[in-house]
């Protein structure tokens, strides 16, 4: 197509831009359609492999080396993409989403790479989360892989309500929060001498990845927002708005262990923000203290335990091992349960 910028008539330029946009959208839709059809074809191939090789049973013996012969034949006729490993993936795709759940798995236009990553997640509820959220938030495969590796589903602090049809305001907020937040993308070491200003600057410099880590619905509002009264000025580290919760979210950064005075300070910030900045249509402001560590006693016996607007979450600047992360998650679940704090094994020594 001729260079649009060289057209002398602005009217002609607008016309050609419109035609170009139509073609680009058509190509995009065609690519999505092809992707959807190929993913469905892979599921159907997996179904036929199970029926032919295993007699329809996931537990039966593999039999006659059918996959090797099928791989050789398909590769000769169709080229790459039909290796033995890929055929096994097709089979696992069908076994993960059998006929009754086929439409659920294929309802979105996720790529085959998305599905390969998701179907390796053992927990069915976690798979459902990654499947739905990847489609809703348009995650790339790289973002999806990070979310799985950092166990995003497990880190979401969703208290299991006995009546999930009508969760309390606190429970609604907890579905959007994580603990811990994993900030390995900042490239910071776990240095106890890290300054709050350094952490804040790093988060702002990599705001796009931080927003992904915060979760759905967050948009950035301000850094070091000033709240002024007749006698004093106060500065809030980071302010966001969450359109899912329809409220402002204040983040106070603490590179040290959570202290009771941090909670009192955040309580004051939230009250002031609601009084000075909150709109008539906004829900009550949420305050999150993002800290290097937490004390179980302070969490259990402070206003954090029941307050609808105050929360504290840890952050990690390196990606912990799977075992370490699981241990932290178990500890955090205990903090949000009714169990009384227990002395840590290391403190007993």
Q: Are residues 7 and 93 in the same domain?
A: yes
Give, for all 349 residues of the chain, the pLDDT tens digit. Answer: 445 555 455 567 776 787 688 788 788 777 767 778 888 899 999 988 888 876 656 655 554 578 888 888 899 888 888 898 999 999 999 998 887 667 666 766 788 999 999 999 999 989 989 998 998 888 999 999 999 998 898 888 544 455 555 666 677 777 778 888 999 999 998 888 899 999 999 999 999 999 999 988 899 999 999 999 889 999 999 999 999 889 999 999 999 999 999 999 999 999 999 999 999 999 999 999 999 998 877 877 787 877 889 999 999 998 877 777 777 777 766 665 555 544 444 444 4
Q: Are residues 225 and 302 in the same domain?
A: yes
Indicate whether 215 belongs to any domain. yes
Indicate whether 304 belongs to any domain. yes
Indicate whether 349 belongs to any domain. no
Indicate whether 156 belongs to any domain. no
Q: Are residues 188 and 99 in the same domain?
A: no
**Rounded distance, CA 251 to CA 240, Å?**
8
Q: Are residues 144 and 204 in the same domain?
A: no
The domain total for the chain is: 3
Indicate whether 31 belongs to any domain. yes
Q: Are residues 242 and 329 in the same domain?
A: yes
Looking at 70, 88, 104, the residue that finishes a domain is 104
311: part of which helix (H) or strand (E)? strand 310-316
Residue-range definition of the domain harbouring residue 249 = 167-341
Looking at 50, 80, 104, the residue that finishes a domain is 104
Q: Are residues 181 and 304 in the same domain?
A: yes
What's the CATH number where 317 sits?
3.40.1350.10
Q: Are residues 188 and 335 in the same domain?
A: yes
Q: Are residues 331 and 183 in the same domain?
A: yes
Give the number of other CB atoms < 10 A from CB of residue 2.
Answer: 7
Indicate whether 348 belongs to any domain. no
Indicate whether 347 belongs to any domain. no
Indicate whether 197 belongs to any domain. yes
Q: Are residues 97 and 189 in the same domain?
A: no
Q: Are residues 253 and 328 in the same domain?
A: yes
Q: Are residues 303 and 187 in the same domain?
A: yes
Q: Are residues 258 and 333 in the same domain?
A: yes
């Amino acid at each position: 197509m001729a260079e649009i910028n060289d057209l002398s008539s602005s009217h002609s330029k607008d016309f050609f831009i419109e035609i170009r946009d139509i073609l680009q959208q058509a190509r995009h839709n065609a690519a999505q359609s092809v992707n959807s059809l190929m993913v469905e074809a892979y599921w159907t191939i997996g179904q036929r492999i199970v029926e032919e090789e295993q007699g329809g049973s996931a537990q039966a013996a593999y039999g006659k080396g059918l996959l090797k012969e099928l791989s050789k034949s398909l590769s000769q006729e169709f080229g790459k993409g039909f290796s033995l490993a890929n055929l096994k993936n097709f089979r696992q795709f069908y076994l993960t989403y059998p006929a009754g759940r086929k439409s659920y798995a294929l309802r979105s236009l996720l790529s085959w790479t998305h599905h390969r990553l998701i179907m390796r997640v053992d927990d069915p509820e976690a798979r459902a989360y990654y499947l739905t959220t990847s489609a809703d938030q348009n995650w790339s495969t790289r973002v999806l892989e990070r979310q799985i590796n950092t166990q995003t589903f497990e880190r979401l602090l969703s208290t299991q309500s006995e009546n999930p049809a009508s969760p309390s305001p606190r429970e609604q907020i907890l579905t959007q929060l994580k603990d811990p937040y994993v900030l390995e993308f900042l490239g910071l070491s776990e240095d106890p001498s890290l300054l709050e200003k350094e952490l804040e600057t790093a988060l702002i410099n990599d705001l796009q990845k931080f927003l992904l880590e915060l979760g759905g619905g967050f948009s950035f509002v301000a850094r070091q927002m000033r709240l002024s009264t007749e006698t004093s000025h106060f500065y809030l580290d980071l302010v966001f708005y969450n359109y899912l919760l329809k409220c402002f979210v204040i983040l106070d950064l603490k590179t040290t262990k959570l202290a009771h005075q941090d909670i009192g300070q955040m309580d004051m910030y939230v009250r002031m923000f609601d009084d000075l900045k909150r709109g008539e249509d906004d829900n009550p402001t949420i305050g999150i203290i993002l800290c290097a560590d937490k004390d179980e006693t302070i969490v259990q016996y402070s206003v954090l335990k029941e307050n609808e607007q105050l929360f504290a979450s840890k952050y990690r600047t390196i990606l912990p091992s799977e075992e370490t992360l699981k241990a932290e998650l178990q500890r955090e679940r205990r903090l949000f349960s009714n169990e009384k704090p227990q002395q840590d094994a290391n403190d007993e020594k």
